Structures are given as structure tokens and as C-alpha cells.
A and B are shown apart, each in its own frame.
Chain A
Amino acid sequence: MTPKMARIKKIAQETPSIRTFYLDLETDAKPGQFAMAWLPRVDEKPFTLTGTGNETAITVQEKGKFTKKMFELKEGNSIGIRGPFGKGFDFGGAKNACIVAGGCGAAPLLMLAEELKKRDVNLKIVLGARTGNECLFKERLKNTGEIYITTDDGSLGEKGFTTSVLERLLEKEKFDCVFGCGPEPMLVRVFELCEKFGAECQLNLERFMKCATGICGQCAIDEWLVCKDGPVFKSTQIRKMRDFGKFAMLKSAKKVSLQEYAQWRQK
């Protein structure tokens, strides 16, 4: 679809580096689906939809060129939106679930957690960030289940990684599903732990995108397209992936290591 210009109704400062932009646009976005946000003459990038219906929103962390421009926008300004795209989380049967969110990875998991809460799912949430005041959606996530917080600097919750908490939880509890989003090295560890303890998982993955509708081949992980087959993938798919945690494509479609990919993103 052609991008639709949507007025920014409200901007919420979530953490010092993260803002939610509520849009004057109705969607039927499901947890885990994303949209392409367009700033004319700048660029177009994928962002998880963090609200649906007339609460449709994207939550953006200030990182590089595009997101700096996003942070210059005021309420009343407009951005272009294409979407919702992709397959979201499949949470139909879950009764006892765990959510693991690293940094901005809490973005796609918030709507999921609130949906699970509505269905009375017994939920544990592991929320990690660099530092205490960067824990995204901490208050809203607290209302959906039992929350465990980890920070790199120990300024809030436990000092260390989300995956250490997950390991302890998996040791004593059986989850129908573990839902994760965050930096790929974290997700690799989440997957390893779930395999070790025999728990199913669904991970929200990220790759550079162009079309967002499954034709350009830019976002490939092996034969899967993150935009169309994902961005949420299940254990059955992840088990077969050879590129997961290892390789990603640059804009030229050259396949490189995740480290080189991250360096390119920094440019």
C-alpha cells in the first residue's frame, strides 16, 4: 500500500531515549506486527506497532539518523505509515507463559503481555536494559504478571543478563511458550535455554528491510523472509535456521557476519 500520512496525536516520553508516537490512524494491528514509518526525504524504516485500533502507535529509540529526525517531530506533525505487516505472535493456547525483553525489545511484547493478561494467562516477565531508567514499559508490564528486572549496571533489579533469570525460571517451571525480543545474541541464548529445557519459544527477529511485503529478498534469514514469514518465528523454524545469530544482509544484499552488519548500521 502507499504510505498514508498520519498525524501524531500524542508523544509519550517512555524513557530518556525512547518515545511513543500515538497516531491519528486506525489499524487492526496484532501483537508482533510492524509498520514502515516514512519521513519524506529522509528514509523509511520498520517499527513494531505498540498499540492497535485508535491507540495505534510506534515506540522509537533514538539511535541514528532516522530516529534523531523522529525525535524532532512534535504533536500535530505527520509521518507516513505503511502496514500493518508480518505475522505476529501466536498465543492462542498459552496458559503459562514467559516474556523476555531486552532493551527496545519490550516494544512488541507490551501488546502481547496485555493481550495475555486479558486471557488470564499466568505470565512471568523478564525485562532487561542497560540501566534502570531505560527499562521500557516497566509500569505497564508490571500490571500483566510477575516481573523480574535486570540491568547491566545494577541500578535497578538484578545486575546482569535477562537470560540468567530465564534460566532460573526454566529450572523450576514449565512454560507453554517463551516469547522473546531483543538483541540477537540475547535471543540466541534464549533459544538455547528453551531447547535445553524443552520449552517452545517464539522470537521476534530483525533485519534491514525494503519492501516489507516479501518480494525484494532483502530481509532474508536463510529461505525465510523476516517481513512476511516473520518477524515472529517459532522454535520449529529457528531450529532449521543457519543464519540466525550469525549472518545478515547489507543493503547491497551481501551476506556478512552480524558484527559487520551492526557496524554498518552504525555508519
Chain B
Amino acid sequence: MLETEFCKVKLGNPTVLASGILGTSAELLIRAAENGAGAVTIKSIGPREREGHNNPTIFEWEHGLINAVGLSSEGYKEMEDVWEALKKCPVPVIASIYGANVQEFIEVAENVAKQKPAIVEANISCPNSEKHGQVFGCNIDASAEVISAVKKAVGEIPLIAKLTPQAPNIAEIAKACEAAGADAICAINTVAGMVINIEARKPVLHFKKGGLSGPAVKPVAVKCIWEIYEAVKIPILGVGGVSSGRDAIELMQAGASAIGIGSGVHFKGIDVFKKVCSEMEEWMNENGFANVKELVGIAHE
């Protein structure tokens, strides 16, 4: 009932471990798969080793999480052991990549493609780093340029463009990425924000600004997915605020074909994937749906 496909890749169910959550090692990715994830995403891989920001980097606030991890990465060169261990991963592996400029994106994409991940995801949207990402994801031409370059670099491997809700017109960016060769769109990355501790009179994140995720951003994700669904033909990986079956179904009705889960791991535990799947099945049974594919975009009808 939950079997589906995304970019011609077969998935046992539509839940996907989102990038940056538990994706630091093959062992953790495999553990997420064993806990029901239909596919898993490696934490965004950069051109070279990068520590990221100082702590506090992640914490929970009243309505979700905020993070400024700062794209920490061991760099693509140091990952031989990870790729080797991932051969044992029982579900498709998505490799998320980032770079500070088009050249860096190409360098990472070419090297990551050699490892034959099921899908490559270009993170053109991370708000946590002053130089990286944001400039691409907010600008139509820059998004198109980097996606077209990465698509050339990865060849036959399907490419997802991961977008930021900070873009003034996310549907236009999605259309430009589709025209540039993207095989799918992922929406959304985190929403820029800040939390101040009023007793300390200081922003809590060491980097001060960060990205919101979890329940607070779900309506933002639903709206972005809705607009993208109306603008493009390629499938959408919906991400943002999912921690129950009902959340997942809401994003699917807006137009998502598969569902990324990040903060849900914090709120529900690593078996959030299993929980979301069984809740989806229950809802589908009660409401007369035989396959998840029937849910995609039905709120538009």
C-alpha cells in the first residue's frame, strides 16, 4: 500500500531520512533504514573538511527546533569507508552535496557520482553559512546555473534540487531548476530565524541566526509544495514538520510524492519512520485509499 517510486527509484514507503539528521555515518543511516525509512540521505557533503559553528548549534524551542550546525562535513575525499559500509544499506541512499560556488558543486558532484548513490540532492538552500547556498537558492539564474552544472556532473543519476522557502518566488526557482535538468525538487530546507534567551540577553545559537524546522514550519512547507506542484511536472520530495502520518498525508495532498523527515526524529525517536508509515496506512484504510500514489496532489482537485 505504501510502495511507491521517486525519480524511477523504487521505495518500500515514501518516508525519507532528511539530510543533516543522523547522516554522519553509514551505521546511523542503516539504523534509520532498519527503523522504517524508505530511503536515507547522507548529511550534506562539501568539498573539504569543515567544522561548522560552535555550540549551541541545535536546540528545541516552543514550536520546533532551530539549528546552525554550519555545514560541518568531513569532505568528499574522506568518505571511502562510509561508501564501503553503505553497500550494506537495505534502502536507496541519497547523497546531499553543497559547495560555495559552481566550481565546488561540480567537484563534489563528480566525485560523489563515482560512488553511484541512488540519487544526488544539491543543497542550494542552506541558510547557516554566510557564503554557501543561499545565494543560489534565492536567485533564479544562479539556481539554474548550478543545477545544470551538477546535472552534467552526475550524468544518469537522478538529481534533486533542494530549495529554500526564503526565495521570494519558490515556484519560479523550481521551474528554472526543472528546465536546467533537475529530476525532482525537494522543499523545504529550514526557515531563517533567531531565538534570544531574555535572561541571558543573548541569542542562544552561537552563530546567532539559524534555521527553524519541526512543527512550526509545516504550513510553510505545505504552501511551498502547493506552489511548486502547480509550476512543475517533476516529482516533489516534501520536507518540513512531519512527525505523524497525518502530517505526511497533508504534504502529499499538497503535491509531494515522497516525504522527508528530520526534526521528527527528535520529537518521536528514530522509529518515527515506522510510526508515520503505520499511521498513514491506518488513515488510508479508513478513507478508502489503496496506494499512496493516489494521495499526491489531491488537494488541488
Contact = CB atoms under 8 A, between A and B. Distances in A.
A214 B265 contact: yes
B81 A44 contact: no
Given A5-B200, A213-B60, A217-B28, A252 B50 contact: yes
Interface in A199-214: 209-211, 213-214
Contacts of A1: 59-60
Interface stretch (B67-75, B138-146, B274-282): B67-75
Nearest to B49: A252
B169 interface: no
Contacts of B197: 2-3, 5, 40, 80
Contact of A210 (B30, B55, B202): B55
Q: Chain A interface secondary structure, helix, strand, loop or mixed?
A: loop
A82 B195 CA distance: 15
Interface stretch (B17-25, B91-99, B120-128, B246-254): B17-25
B5 interface: no
A251 B200 contact: no
A82 B61 CA distance: 11
Interface string B75-89: 100100100000000
Contacts of B164: none
A252 B73 contact: yes
A215 interface: yes
Nearest to A216: B58
A25 to B, nearest CB: 12
A223 interface: yes
User: Chain B: interface residue count, which band?
Assistant: 35 or more
A252 B74 contact: yes
Majority-rule SS of B interface residues: loop
Contact of A252 (B25, B52, B199): B52
Given A251-B52, A252-B52, A215 B74 contact: no
B195 A2 contact: yes
Contact of B78 (A2, A3, A225, A254): A254
Contact of B199 (A78, A210, A217, A255): A78
A2 B263 CA distance: 15
Given A210-B57, A217-B21, A253-B43, A3 B263 contact: no
Contact of A38 (B25, B56, B195): B56
Contact of A3 (B56, B73, B270): B56
Interface in A118-171: none
Given A214-B265, A214-B266, A253 B55 contact: no
B10 interface: no
Interface in A209-247: 209-211, 213-218, 220, 222-223, 225
Contacts of B266: 211, 213-215
B202 A2 contact: no
Contacts of B61: 2
11 contacts: A2-B204, A36-B55, A43-B54, A80-B197, A80-B200, A215-B262, A215-B263, A216-B58, A220-B27, A252-B73, A252-B74
Interface of B: 20-25, 27-28, 30-31, 43, 49-52, 54-62, 65, 67, 69, 72-75, 78, 81, 195, 197, 199-200, 202, 204, 206, 262-263, 265-266, 269-270
